[in-house]
Structure 1
Amino acid sequence: MHSHNGLKTAALLGLLTAMILAVGYWLGGSGGLVIAVLISLVMNGVSYFFSDKLALRSMHAQPVSEAEFPQLYQMVRELSQQAGQPMPRLYVSPTMQPNAFATGRNPQHAAVAVTEGITRILDYRELRAVIGHELSHVYNRDILISSVAGALAGIITMLANLAWFLPIGGGDDEDGVNPLAMLMMLILGPLAASIIQMAISRSREFQADASGAQLTNDPLALASALKKIHLGVQQLPLPAEGQLASSAHLMIDNPLRGGGIASLFSTHPPMEERVRRLEAMAANSGPIQYMR
């Protein structure tokens, strides 16, 4: 399952870690570094263990029984068994925007949620492809990876904030520190951390598209579902506020408004590129090859 995207994710996580070490070294190994790391780890630890509850609450998702959604249960059970993984809990959100997300820190604690809107616009094959994508997020441990990325980015931001209050010393240098370098770190550090964090999310989406299409053996159904979802999301964007904003990166398509410069801070790769890769995957008949 490891492809180019897995390597990219590892490299980006390494880059975030290196940034923390560099900033920490620059701050002169002060106690502030330890405090920032601890606070950020605690905050992210909490969100990691409660990730499923937070995301489900933000979308007002309710658990559903097999009697209510027999088709949904059937496709999820079939794909879980095929992957040799436990059956996740299933939820439906009353939202009319077509979207879906998976959450939970491992396959034993997983939940898959779809919105009412998505069940209305997708056919059986397309919905099954979306479920394959969501289950792939769980199997690829994406909640863990995004939690780690969030923790690292949080530490960098916290260190930059601490730098305002800490007497920064460059060793023996009596003149203190270059104010320009200081400003660069305070502003660009957190900005760079956010952009890297978004890039990690984007590479996880490509990975889930590829793994999901492999699991369902139906890349074209996922491509077609993504097109429909993207159109529906643009017609019915959700307000970017409160808990929803913090769960947006979990959705199969970004549920919030935003274009232009906002795309730099997007947690999702461009939909055209996702569709193109899936169509290329389908075109490579025979054993599925991962895209470059």
Structure 2
Amino acid sequence: MVKWKRDLGLEGRMLLTMFLLAVVYLFFLVFLTFMNAPPLFMLLFIGVALGAQYYYSDRIVLWTMNAKVVSENEAPNLHQTITRLCAIADLPKPRIAVVNTQVPNAFATGKGPNSAVVAVTTGLMDRLNQGELEAVLAHELSHVKNRDMAILTIASFISTLAFYFVRYYLYFGAFGGNRRDSGGIMLVWIVSIAVWVASFLLIRALSRYREFAADRGSAIITGQPSNLTSALLKISDVMPRIPSDDLRKVEGMNAFFIIPAAVSGSFMNLFSTHPSTEKRIAALEKIQKELEL
């Protein structure tokens, strides 16, 4: 029988990702200081931005998705299901939110198990049976148990700072001196893009691995990997038929979703936040065999 155990691979990847990101951003700060950027402004900007992102990440994500936190009276079946799954997973019950959209998806956010929010869309609840819904909810609870939500939130957020610095540089002329007149503006732009690309690749690699870890967690919590396989197939099959406008509205949340809501041909498909559905199903089939032993 497969039992829950600490995923050292995931924990190691989270630590490595944050360490490498810290190295990348330290280099960027040193470089901008060399280019006459005001150090105090940069430190204050980063401190305030990261603090706000960490403490208000769940509210920001819920606001972005127009998600509504629902009470037990408003969604009794959803609350009962999550209460039971939390008991199995040894987790405190998170807040529960519903997003009114036909895009079938779910996500978890928050700083940790004691402040987590699990959200599902109406499109998901309309299309999945009870077993499949439980598997998806267990997947999201696995993200909570693995504590990978805050890491991804912070890492994703600070990867955008390079662009803010560039805009500050271009539009406000914040960096002075001869370096700007001698081509410094182009150098800052190039380095900023390099910083963003490095951050982007690190975050995507972590995001893909954490989905495998959450799939495994779902299989362990429910004891039915086949239900998650069925749910993934249903969501993947429905996604191409969702209107492009609806998908574009939520694409920015792809890293948090169980399956990315990507418009065909969009940039998000080039470096996916998720492993392919085929690879995820293959991993779940392997877990199914382990459970049968």
How many residue pairs get aligned? The number is: 281
* 1:6-45 equivalent positions in 2, closer than 5 A: 6-27=11-32, 32-45=38-51
Instruction: Note if 1:217 corresponds to 2:223.
Output: yes
Shift, 1:148, TM fit: 2.5
For residue 240 of structure 1, the aligned residue among 226, 233, 248 is 248
Q: Report the RMSD for the aligned CA atoms in angstroms.
A: 3.1
Task: Name the CA distance, whole Å, in 2 between partners of 1:51 and 1:28.
Answer: 29
Bigger drift between 270-279 and 37-46 goes to 37-46
Shift, 1:147, TM fit: 2.5
Task: Name the CA distance, whole Å, in 1 between partners of 2:19 and 2:177.
Answer: 25
Task: Name the CA distance, whole Å, in 2 between partners of 1:97 and 1:161.
Answer: 33
Bigger drift between 152-161 and 96-105 goes to 152-161
Query: Is there any run of 5+ residues in structure 2 with no aligned partner, and where?
Result: 1-5
Identify the residue that residue 84 of structure 1 maps to in structure 2.
90
Task: Name the CA distance, whole Å, in 2 between partners of 1:96 and 1:28.
Answer: 47
Contact kept, 8 Å, 1:27 with 1:169, in 2: the verdict is no
Bigger drift between 105-114 and 262-271 goes to 262-271
For residue 55 of structure 1, the aligned residue among 44, 57, 61 is 61
For residue 228 of structure 1, the aligned residue among 234, 239, 260 is 234
Q: Which amino acid aligns with 2:248?
A: A
Q: 1:18 to 1:233 in 2, by over 3 A?
A: same
* 1:156-175 equivalent positions in 2, closer than 5 A: 156-158=162-164, 166=175
Task: Name the CA distance, whole Å, in 1 between partners of 2:30 and 2:260.
Answer: 37
Contact kept, 8 Å, 2:107 with 2:258, in 1: the verdict is yes
Identify the residue that residue 275 of structure 1 maps to in structure 2.
281
Instruction: Note if 1:128 corresponds to 2:137.
Output: no
Q: 1:107 to 1:270 in 2, by over 3 A?
A: same
Q: 1:70 to 1:180 in 2, by over 3 A?
A: closer
Contact kept, 8 Å, 2:162 with 2:192, in 1: the verdict is no
Q: Which amino acid aligns with 1:82?
A: I
For residue 5 of structure 1, the aligned residue among 10, 29, 38 is 10
Shift, 1:80, TM fit: 0.9
Task: Name the CA distance, whole Å, in 2 between partners of 1:124 and 1:37.
Answer: 49
Contact kept, 8 Å, 1:161 with 1:186, in 2: the verdict is no
Q: SS of the counterpart of 1:97?
A: coil
* 1:71-110 equivalent positions in 2, closer than 5 A: 71-110=77-116
Between Structure 1 and Structure 2, the one with more helix by share is 2
Of all paired residues, the percent bearing the same amino acid is 32
Contact kept, 8 Å, 1:6 with 1:207, in 2: the verdict is no
Shift, 1:163, TM fit: 7.2
Contact kept, 8 Å, 1:80 with 1:87, in 2: the verdict is yes
Task: Name the CA distance, whole Å, in 1 between partners of 2:177 and 2:271.
Answer: 30
Identify the residue that residue 3 of structure 2 maps to in structure 1.
none
Q: 1:55 to 1:159 in 2, by over 3 A?
A: closer
What TM-score do you get using the length of structure 1 for normalisation? Answer: 0.81
Q: Which amino acid aligns with 1:9?
A: M
Shift, 1:191, TM fit: 2.2
Q: SS of the counterpart of 2:248?
A: coil
For residue 70 of structure 2, the aligned residue among 64, 84, 90 is 64
Q: Which amino acid aligns with 2:28?
A: V
Task: Name the CA distance, whole Å, in 2 between partners of 1:115 and 1:76.
Answer: 15
Shift, 1:178, TM fit: 9.6
Identify the residue that residue 173 of structure 1 maps to in structure 2.
none
Query: Is there any run of 5+ residues in structure 1 with no aligned partner, and where?
Result: 171-175, 288-292
Q: SS of the counterpart of 2:97?
A: strand
Instruction: Note if 1:199 corresponds to 2:205.
Output: yes
Q: What per-residue deviation string (whole Å, max 9, x for no partner) do you get for residues 67-88 of structure 1?
A: 4433322221111112222212
Q: What per-residue deviation string (whole Å, max 9, x for no partner) do you get for residues 194-233 of structure 1?
A: 2322222222222211222222222221111111112222
Task: Name the CA distance, whole Å, in 1 between partners of 2:109 and 2:186.
Answer: 42
